[in-house]
Every structure is written in structure tokens, then in C-alpha cells.
Structure 1
Amino acid sequence: MVGIRKRKDFFEDFGSELFDNLEEMIEALLEEMGDSVPFVYGFSIIHRPGEDPELREFGNVPEYPQQEENFFPSETKEPLIDIFENENMVHVLAEFPEIEKEDILLHATGQHLEIKVLGLSEYTEDVDLPVRVDPKSAKASYKNGVLEVTFRRCSEESPVEIEIN
């Protein structure tokens, strides 16, 4: 038969070089880690018909007092806040999913932006701005759960309330 070649398996040579020293590498890593004990944490939910769900923690992490109000995360979630600046402007971006625009209050000074969320879960954050800004130049918008506040750089210091578009 002319023209028939046996295809070489890609994985034939792949494992031979790469995994020759794998066991030695793992042992060296374990020695570097020392006698630290890995931790395990989790919870299980048991729901029997006609009863309330039962939550059980398990693992080898230190135990904390189990108070039902602390067991579940609070309704208030801290937003992710990013600050960007360029030569003329300072931009503050904050994520507030599931919050209505009407529930957000903003107050600014030349060095700070105060963000208040009202409603069922109240939240306040005082954001330190990296440079002095003109609080009267603030423009704020809120769309799809993202608050954006933009300032011009300046040296003015009086507090100003900001209207959200």
C-alpha cells in the first residue's frame, strides 16, 4: 500500500516529558507548605415535608456563635466602586444592582463623595477622591445598576447636592 502513513498520537510524547517529574514537584510543594492543614467549610440544607429547612454547617474552620440573623448574608451588599481620573476629570463608578435611582442620594465636597442608599436596606459610603474636584461640576447618571459620577478637577471646597439623570 502506497501513501498510507501511521498518524502519530499527539498525547504519546506529551505526557512523557511533562509528567516525568510530577511526583517530585508535588512533594517539593508540600514540603514548602509545611504542616499547614487545609480547611474545609460548607453547609447542608435538609428540608423535610411539613418542616422548616434545617441548615447545618460543617468543616474544620473555627466555629462562631450561630445566630440566625448572622447566618444568612444581610440584604445590604457593598457596591463595587472604581475611581478613574485623567488630566481634567475624575470618574466614580459604583454598582448598585436592584436599587432604584430615586433611592440614591449624593453629596460632594472637593475631596469626598458621599453615596447614600435609602429604602429597605440602607447603605452609606464616603468615597475619598484622589484629587480636589469642583463639586458644582458633578454630573451623575444611573443606568442598569451602575452609578456614574463625573467631576472636573478644581480647588473648591463647599458641599453640593447632585441630581441624578
Structure 2
Amino acid sequence: MRRDDRDDPFDEFFRELERMMNDVMGAGGDVHIEQSGADYGADLHLDVHETDEAVRVVADVPGVDKDAIDLKCDGEVLTIKAAADQRDYGERVRLPAHVDEHSANATYNNGILEVSFTRSEDASDISLD
């Protein structure tokens, strides 16, 4: 007995999946990623962890050389830019607490970027004379 593909409940799903894969792979089989013209590139997957003493940002930045990562912080926002052969990454992360940007410690290992800061006081006491 011959199977009729029109009765396959997953047939439409697999056709759509194949169409999307062909769109992504392009004619030459290479993945093509189009940038939207924004100041920053592809979004990063990242997590922000906060304790009473520190703030830590962990981001997935695969396929990037360590020297191609640019980090900037003003105490409230961490800006991450990174360039790889196939794509550019960029993200501005509003930190959950004010940090001492000079206390930054960054590591990059196997595509994982980790940046940690010491929390600073949100406000300073002002003494009256």
C-alpha cells in the first residue's frame, strides 16, 4: 500500500520548516544575516545577576575573538559591541543598580562573556558646614 502524503498531519509543518531553512541558507548554502541599519547589531542573549555587593552580566557571544569585543560602562548602562565574521553583536544593558565602572572585571571564555562590577552607593551624603 502506498502512503498518501496529503494525509500526513506534519506535511505542512515540514514544508514550512524547509522553506525557512532555504531562506536562511540562501542560494549558495551560506547563512546570510541582514542588518537592520540600527546602531547595534544582532541582539545578545544575556543574563544579569545582582547581589548586595555586586552586579554581574553574562552574555553569549559565540564566534568572536576576544580582541573584537568592546565594553563601555557609565555606572548605569553597560554597552557591549562585538564583531565576528558572520555578524555583529550589540547591546545596551541598563544595570539594576548603580555600579562603580572602574571596578569592572571582564572575562571571555568559549563564547561566554562575563562582566562584573562592584555596586556603588546610589547617593552620597552631603555634610553641611
Q: Give me the TM-score of the superposition, normalised by structure 1.
A: 0.50
**Which of 54, 68, 75 matches 1:110?**
75
Q: How far 1:154 moved relative to its partner?
A: 1.2
Q: Distance in 2 between matches of 1:97 and 1:56?
A: 26
Larger radius of gyration: 1
> Is 1:148 aligned with 2:114?
yes
Could you tell me whether the CA contact under 8 Å between 2:80 and 2:90 is conserved in 1? yes
- For 2:101, the equivalent position in structure 1 comes to 135
Letter in 1 for 2:107: S
Q: Distance in 1 between matches of 2:64 and 2:84?
A: 9
Distance 1:150 1:56, change over 3 A: closer
Q: Distance in 1 between matches of 2:47 and 2:16?
A: 36
Distance 1:128 1:117, change over 3 A: same
Could you tell me whether the CA contact under 8 Å between 1:110 and 1:155 is conserved in 2? no
What is the root-mean-square deviation of aligned Cα atoms in Å?
2.8
Q: Which residues of 2 match residues 20-35 of structure 1 at below 5 A?
A: none
Q: Distance in 2 between matches of 1:136 and 1:116?
A: 19
Letter in 1 for 2:47: D
Distance 1:56 1:114, change over 3 A: closer
Q: Which residues of 2 match residues 3-152 of structure 1 at below 5 A?
A: 40-43=12-15, 56=19, 71-72=23-24, 74=33, 78-120=43-85, 121-152=87-118
* Number of aligned positions between the proteins: 96
Higher relative contact order (CA 8 A, sep 6+): 2
State percent identity of aligned pairs: 34
Letter in 2 for 1:131: A
- For 1:163, the equivalent position in structure 2 comes to none
Q: Deviation digits for residues 93-124 of structure 1, max 9, x if unmatched? A: 00112111111100001110000012432221
Q: Deviation digits for residues 47-84 of structure 1, max 9, x if unmatched? A: xxxxxxxx646xxxxxxxxxx8xx21628753320000
Unaligned 5+ runs, structure 1:
1-39, 46-54, 58-67, 157-165
Which runs of structure 1 show a deviation greater than 6 angstroms over 4 or more consecutive aligned residues?
none
Aligned residue for 2:62, secondary structure, equals: coil
- For 2:3, the equivalent position in structure 1 comes to none
